[in-house]
């Protein structure tokens, strides 16, 4: 929008805890920058949006409060993986479900040329939380 100014702070993601990259098989999910939209399930009124880079079995991404690193395997329209969600900026009650926790997440789902979706389970402390994630490819990148 003309005349609107904003400031961004970009921080590198520490991927020392990331799992090793997964295997991307025949017709695997395309490398690229994806938008991600998350909707919590089981009566939790929460959600989130961010970006996620998928590249050769690696996941790197984040949003205003969290970064995530992980790995996936993909072939023939199905994918699954794991990631670690970490708070990089205190959520101050904005995202109370994951705020203050390092969260392990496992997921599985489907994909096509321009999008992907997955059902996920996050382990937050001793609590298990289910959610649905929808990804839309914004930019394709080379492998």
31 vs 7, more confident: 31
- Ordered domains of the chain (ranges, CATH): 32-138 (2.40.128.380)
pLDDT at 99 over 70: no
**What is the number of other CB atoms lying within 10 angstroms of the CB of residue 129?**
18
Burial of 66 (0-12, 13-18, 19+ CB in 10 A): buried
pLDDT digits (tens, 9 = 90+) for 73-97: 999 999 999 999 888 887 666 555 6
DSSP code of 24? Answer: B
pLDDT digits (tens, 9 = 90+) for 31-66: 999 999 999 898 888 888 999 999 999 999 988 888
What's the pTM value of the predicted model, to 2 decimals? Answer: 0.84
pLDDT digits (tens, 9 = 90+) for 13-29: 777 778 889 999 988 99
Question: In which band, very low, low, confident or very high, does the pLDDT at 134 lie, cut at 50, 70 and 90?
Answer: very high
């Amino acid at each position: 929008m003309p005349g609107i100014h904003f400031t961004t702070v970009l921080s590198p993601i520490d991927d020392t805890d990331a799992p090793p990259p997964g295997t991307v098989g025949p017709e695997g999910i395309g490398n690229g920058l994806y938008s991600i939209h998350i909707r919590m399930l089981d009566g939790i009124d929460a959600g989130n949006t961010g970006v996620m880079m998928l590249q050769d079995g690696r996941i790197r991404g984040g949003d205003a409060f969290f970064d995530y690193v992980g790995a996936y395997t993909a072939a023939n329209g199905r994918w699954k993986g794991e990631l670690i969600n970490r708070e990089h900026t205190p959520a101050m009650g904005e995202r109370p479900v994951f705020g203050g926790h390092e969260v392990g997440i496992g997921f599985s789902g489907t994909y096509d040329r321009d999008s992907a979706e997955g059902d996920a389970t996050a382990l937050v402390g001793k609590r298990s939380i289910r959610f649905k994630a929808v990804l839309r490819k914004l930019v394709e990148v080379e492998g």
